[in-house]
Amino acid sequence: MRTPHLAVPAVLATALLLAACGTRTADGPAGADPCSSPSPVTGGAGQEKDGVRITALPARGGTCGRTGAAVSYEVTNRTGAELTYTVTLSFLAASGGALDNVSQTVERVAPGATVRRTAGPAYRAGDVAGAKILKVRSVPSAEAPAQGGPCPSSGVRVYADGGDAAMGLRVVGLHLENCGSGIHRLDGYPRLQLLDAGHEPVDTVRVLHGGAGIASGTGADGSPVPVALKPGERAVAVMTWRNTTGFGDAVNVPYVRVWAEAGARPVTVTPELDLGTTGKLGVGPWKRETDSRTGTDSRTGTATGTGTATGTGTGTRAGSSAPAPGDGG
């Protein structure tokens, strides 16, 4: 199987072309809608999932700029904490088959607020007969992963990549970037707390230090060594698991809450762990991140010859600050 590249990952492995017409952000007003006049949704009318509801499609045969059909939807935060949502929509042909899947992030939705957005596929409106909500993930905004933008007050960004999979073996990298002005030191393993779709702790899965209990060659091997990151440098810790299913109920864990080190603020990512009935997840120590394509580390040039795969995933639990449980070994 491929190993995860220790490189700067793509913003979202599932990110696709999004329409920019008639959208509003969580903290801004709706803009003028240059799309054709909308008609009631014919495939997905009133569909609702986890606080997200499809409200309208444009008229058949209309357009929305260069991106084609635009679906209107709204996000309602029914919790008591400010949340950031990731919404995945599927655009459907008249046959019912999927034309395109689009993921969109809706940031900083206040408690009790409803935010309206639009998203569109790379098809003209005449090709789109309906839409459905594939998946909704929500995270407390204070714990949302950050791969770009302003540097957090902590001086580091923590996020997950899109991972890699082969023959039932899964690998996802946790990345930490020093975006501050000083040296950031790491020595050891990140602490993890697994959370189910309802953001409740999952206590039936053992978190193992290292990947030996899962598979070799995943990048989760080795013992911890001190890592000193200068500004702009990155480190990675690899999570690995198998989705083997035997007797019992398969366990799926959308969210992982990550403490990069003792005293760090938690960040909740969305690696979508499909753990089957194995009951275990391996996590490797923090290592300096390298680029397998060039054989260099993130500092600008030292040859290393090792690497792993990239992409991104995000997500987090709604409003908990409980300490993470100790990791098993």
Are residues 239 and 283 in contact, defined by beta-carbon separation less than 8 angstroms? yes
Percent of the chain having pLDDT more than 90?
A: 58
Q: What is the DSSP string of 236-271?
A: EEEEEEE----SS--EEE-EEEEESSTTPPPEEE--
Q: How far is CA 261 from the centre of its chain?
A: 21
At residue 56, φ and ψ (nearest 5 deg) are -165, 155
* Distance between CA atoms of residues 10 and 110, nearest Å: 28
Tens digits of per-residue pLDDT, 307-328? Answer: 333 333 333 323 333 333 334 4
Tell me, what's the pLDDT at 125?
57
Structure tokens at 234: 């990155």
Residue 27 reports pLDDT greater than 70: no
Tell me, what's the pLDDT at 323?
36
Which H helix or E strand runs over 235?
Answer: strand 234-242
The DSSP output letter for 294 is: T
What count of other Cβ atoms lies within 10 Å of the Cβ of residue 261? 16
Tens digits of per-residue pLDDT, 116-174? Answer: 999 988 766 567 888 899 999 999 999 999 888 899 999 999 999 999 988 889 999 99
Handedness of CA 185, 190, 193, 199 (dihedral sign): positive
Tell me, what's the pLDDT at 71?
87
Q: Which of 317, 308, 164, 189 is nearest to 253 (CA)?
A: 317
Average pLDDT score, the chain: 78
Under the banding of pLDDT at 50, 70 and 90, the label for residue 302 is: very low
Residue 291 reports pLDDT greater than 60: no
Q: How far is CA 180 from the centre of its chain?
A: 23
30-69: burial string, b at 16+ Cβ within 10 Å, e else: eeebebbebeebebbeebeebbbbbbbbbebebbbeebbb
Are residues 116 and 72 in contact, defined by beta-carbon separation less than 8 angstroms? yes
- How far the first Cα of the chain sits from its last, in Å, is 25
* Distance between CA atoms of residues 50 and 234, nearest Å: 35
| pTM across the whole model | 0.74
The DSSP output letter for 130 is: E
Are residues 298 and 290 in contact, defined by beta-carbon separation less than 8 angstroms? yes
